[in-house]
Amino acid sequence: MKPLRILVFSAGFGNGHFRAAEAVIEGIHIKDPFAKIIHLDFGDFLSKRLNTMAKNLYIEMIKHTPKLWGKFYYKTAKFQPESLIQRFLNQLGRSDFLKYIQAFEPDLIVCTYPTVSSILAQLRSERILQVPVVTVITDYAVHSHWVHPGVDRYMVACTEVKRSLLSWGIEAQRILVTGIPVSPKFEGEMDRGHIVSELGLNPDLPTFLVMGGAYGGGRSVKRICKRLADSLVPVQSIIVCGKNEKLYHFLEEVSVQARNPIVRLGYVHNLEELMEVSDLIITKAGGLTVSEALTKHLPLVIFKPIPGQEDENAQFVQRSGAGHVAGTEAELERLLNRFLSYPEDIERMQEKAAVALPGRSTERAVDDLIHLASDLRMKQKIG
Note the pLDDT tens digit of each residue in 246-256.
888 888 888 88
- Does residue 37 contact residue 6 with C-beta atoms inside 8 Å? yes
What is the rounded CA–CA span in Å between residue 236 and residue 226?
12
Average pLDDT over residues 91-110: 89
Number of folded domains in the chain? Answer: 2
Task: Give yes or no: residues 213 and 177 share one domain.
Answer: no
Q: Indicate whether 349 pLDDT > 80.
A: yes
CA-to-CA distance for 254 and 348, rounded, in angstroms? Answer: 32
pLDDT digits (tens, 9 = 90+) for 129-175: 999 999 999 999 999 999 999 999 999 999 999 999 999 999 999 99
pLDDT computed for residue 218 by the predictor: 67
Q: Among 11-20, 104-113, 180-189, 194-203, whose mean pLDDT is lowest?
A: 11-20
pLDDT at 224 over 60: yes
DSSP 128: -
**pLDDT class of 382 with cuts at 50, 70, 90:** low
Cβ atoms of residues 359 and 178 within 8 Å: no
- Same domain, residue pair 236 and 313: yes
* Residue 61 banded pLDDT, cuts 50, 70, 90: confident
Tell me the whole-structure pTM to 2 decimals. Answer: 0.92
**Cross-strand pairs, 47:** none
Alpha helices per DSSP H over 138-244: 159-167, 192-199, 219-229
Domain that holds residue 293: 188-354
Q: Return the pLDDT at 281.
A: 98
- The sheet that has 262-265: what strands, in order across it? 262-265, 236-240, 207-210, 280-283, 300-303, 323-326
User: Mean of the per-residue pLDDT values for the chain?
Assistant: 91
Claim to verify: residue 150 and residue 262 sit in the same structural domain? no
Q: Are residues 82 and 192 in the same domain?
A: no
pLDDT at 217 over 60: no
**Positive or negative, the Cα torsion across 114, 56, 70, 179?**
positive
Closest to 235 measured CA to CA, from 203, 197, 205:
205
What pLDDT, on a 0 to 100 scale, did the predictor assign at position 377? 74
> What is the helix (H) or strand (E) element at residue 20, kind and residue range?
helix 15-31
| Nearest partner of 40 among 88, 99, 90, judged by Cα | 99
Confidence of residue 80 (pLDDT cuts 50, 70, 90): confident
Angstrom CA distances, 205 to 181, 211, 213, 230, stand at: 31, 19, 24, 15
The answer to whether residues 158 and 220 belong to one domain is: no
- If you count them, how many residues does the chain have? 383
Question: Do 144 and 31 fall within a single domain?
Answer: yes
CB crowding 348-376: b at 16 or more within 10 Å, else e: ebbebbeebbeebbbbbbbeebbebbeeb
Q: What share of the chain is helix, strand, coil (3-state, %, to 5)?
A: 55, 15, 35
Detail the DSSP E strand segments found in 125-167.
Answer: 133-136, 153-156
pLDDT value for 1:
66
Query: For residue 25, is pLDDT > 90?
Result: yes
First to last CA, the chain: 17
Q: Are residues 223 and 323 in the same domain?
A: yes
Q: What percent of the chain has pLDDT over 90?
A: 69
pLDDT above 70: residue 381: no
For residue 96, pLDDT beyond 80: yes
Say what the pLDDT of residue 8 is: 97
Q: What is the CATH number of the domain that holds 106?
A: 3.40.50.2000
Q: Do 124 and 232 fall into the same domain?
A: no
Same structural domain for residues 42 and 92?
Answer: yes
**25 or 373, greater pLDDT:** 25
Q: What pLDDT does residue 142 have?
A: 94
Cβ atoms of residues 4 and 33 within 8 Å: no
CB 109 within 8 A of CB 9: yes
The pLDDT value given to residue 222: 86
Least reliable range by pLDDT among 127-136, 295-304, 370-379: 370-379
Q: How confident is the model at residue 67 (pLDDT cuts 50, 70, 90)?
A: confident
Computed from CA positions of residues 213, 215, 219, 220, in that sequence, does the dihedral angle turn out positive or negative?
A: negative
**Same-domain status, 33 and 111:** yes
368 and 347 in a single domain? The answer is no
Tell me, yes or no, whether 203 and 343 share the same domain. Answer: yes
pLDDT of residue 91: 78
Q: What pLDDT does 303 receive?
A: 94
